[in-house]
């Protein structure tokens, strides 16, 4: 086999496949994401993709994990800065809330959540790991603010669970496009809740 033929038949790096899947979701939503279409985009057959990912559910979950790894790095960068705890808390909320209707990251999240009703234990554990990372970072930030006297004394773990439930609920409204719950309105609601509860 010639070097050119080997290059043509070689599978693209996993990250390229996951990035292409995310681009497809961003461009046309989940309806546009098919194994055949994704295969064309990355130069692989749908059968070859299924060999690597087994099912579309697995492809979606791996795409979410890949996207979350990138967002996790961004989140850690925001939270490790020199800004005040309140400013970093606002940055956390800004990153959490969808950019708007049909935000691709949240669209993918909702689909994975929806499919998780029939997921196996491994898939559920991987989803829980993503949730724990967001929760752990928020708890640490709240604990820092409380210890420095910047925030009112609350149980950081319990408050983080409640704040994230509020963010999840509002974020679903934003991404599905419920009238009256745009990103700007949601951010105002959440900031008022934080002021009332923590300051």
Tens digit of each residue's pLDDT (9 = 90 or more) over 59-110: 999 999 999 999 999 999 999 989 999 999 999 999 999 999 989 999 999 9
Burial 19-57 (b: 16+ CB within 10 A, else e): bbbbebbeeeebeebebeebbebbebeeebbbeebeebb
pLDDT for the residue 10? 60
What value, to the nearest 5°, has the Cα angle with vertex 83 and ends 152 and 65? 90
Tens digit of each residue's pLDDT (9 = 90 or more) over 147-189: 999 999 999 999 999 999 999 999 999 999 999 899 999 999 9
pTM of the model: 0.87
pLDDT for the residue 90? 97
pLDDT for the residue 7? 45
Alpha-carbon dihedral angle through residues 120, 122, 123, 129, given to the nearest 10 degrees: 140
CA–CA gap between residue 141 and residue 95 (Å, rounded): 15
CA–CA gap between residue 172 and residue 164 (Å, rounded): 12
CA–CA gap between residue 93 and residue 98 (Å, rounded): 10
What value, to the nearest 5°, has the Cα angle with vertex 129 and ends 60 and 69? 60
Tens digit of each residue's pLDDT (9 = 90 or more) over 113-155: 888 888 899 999 999 999 999 999 999 999 999 999 999 999 9
pLDDT higher for 5 or 24? 24
Is residue 85 within 8 A of residue 53, CB to CB? The reply is no
Tens digit of each residue's pLDDT (9 = 90 or more) over 11-60: 678 888 999 999 888 887 788 788 888 888 888 888 888 888 888 899 99
pLDDT for the residue 48? 82
DSSP 50: H
Residue 6 has pLDDT above 50, yes or no: no
Compute the Cα dihedral for 141, 144, 150, 156 and give only its sign: positive
């Amino acid at each position: 086999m010639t070097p050119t033929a080997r290059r043509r038949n070689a599978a693209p790096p996993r990250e390229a496949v996951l990035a292409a899947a995310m681009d497809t979701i961003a461009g046309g939503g989940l309806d546009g994401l098919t194994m055949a279409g994704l295969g064309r985009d990355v130069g692989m057959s749908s059968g070859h993709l299924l060999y690597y990912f087994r099912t579309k559910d697995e492809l979606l979950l791996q795409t979410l994990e890949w996207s979350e790894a990138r967002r996790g790095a961004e989140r850690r960068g925001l939270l490790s800065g020199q800004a005040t705890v309140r400013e970093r808390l606002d940055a956390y909320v800004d990153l959490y809330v969808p950019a708007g209707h049909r935000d691709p990251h949240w669209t993918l999240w909702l689909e994975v959540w929806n499919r998780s009703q029939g997921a196996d234990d491994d898939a559920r554990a991987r989803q829980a790991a993503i949730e724990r990372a967001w929760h752990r970072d928020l708890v640490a930030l709240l604990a820092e603010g409380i210890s420095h006297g910047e925030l009112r004394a609350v149980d950081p773990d319990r408050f983080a669970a409640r704040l994230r439930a509020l963010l999840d609920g509002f974020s679903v409204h934003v991404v599905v496009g419920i009238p009256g719950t745009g990103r700007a309105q949601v951010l105002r609601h959440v900031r008022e809740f934080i002021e009332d509860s923590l300051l």
